[in-house]
Homo-oligomer: A and B are copies of this chain.
Amino acid sequence: MQQSETNYTPQIIQQAIAAWAGQNKQVTAFFNKYDDSVYMKEVAPGRSRAIYLLGHLVAVSDALLPMFGLGDKLYPELEPLFIRTPDRSVADIPTVAELKQKWKKVNTVLSTHFNAMSAAQWMDRHMSVSPEDFAKEPTRNKLNVLLSRTTHQGYHMGQLNLLQP
């Protein structure tokens, strides 16, 4: 790659945030499409139910708060239900309505933080990598996590769109 004299950094970071927010919006729109009961169905035979994928997406996004050094998780109780165990491991999970509320809240809090972060912060390590390892692999920064979370949301959006209402 040729070095460029123009500093596009702030614009590119804004584009990456917009791509992430665009995926959030698709997930939100999907869970506003049907009656809550529809999301109790699995996306394919023997696979996760849509409600589980929503809980999973909330829990994964929530984990960005400590990972980015922005604070504690809002809903740490979701991790054992939606990250550490597959669907149907635990009988008692929040309702679709509750998860939709948490999804909205997590995204609002993250968006506010993201838009206030400097380029240097985005390019700095995330909290799951040590300063020593980051020195060796400087791409293990917060921006990379944002890119990968955006694709992760797309991954599950592809599955959600297979749901037969």
Of A40-48, A69-77, A95-103, A128-136, the stretch lying at the interface with chain B is: A40-48
Residues of chain B with a CB closer than 8 A to A32's CB: none
Interface window among A11-19, A59-67, A83-91: A11-19
Given known A-B contacts A9-B7, A119-B6, A154-B151, A1 and B16 have beta carbons under 8 A apart: no
User: In the complex, A18→B147 CA distance in Å?
Assistant: 10
State whether A7 touches B10 (Cβ < 8 A).
Answer: no
CA distance A162 to B45 in the complex (A): 9
Main SS at interface, chain A = helix
Whether B1 pairs with A117 at a CB distance below 8 angstroms is yes
A interface list, Cβ under 8 A from B = 1-16, 18-19, 23, 43-47, 115-120, 123, 138-139, 141, 143-144, 147-148, 150-159, 162, 164
Known interface pairs A9-B6, A12-B12, A119-B8; A47-B155 also in contact (CB < 8 Å)? no
- A116, closest chain B residue (CB): B1
Specify which of B11, B147, B162 is in contact with A15 (CB 8 Å cutoff): B147
6 extra interchain contacts, Cβ-Cβ under 8 A, other than A2-B119, A3-B10, A159-B159?
A1-B13, A1-B119, A2-B10, A5-B7, A12-B143, A14-B139
Distance of A159 from chain B, by nearest CB (Å) = 5
**Given A154-B151, A158-B154, A158-B158, does the pair A144, B15 have CB atoms closer than 8 Å?**
yes
6 closest cross-chain pairs (CB), A and B: A4-B119, A155-B158, A151-B154, A158-B158, A44-B44, A154-B154
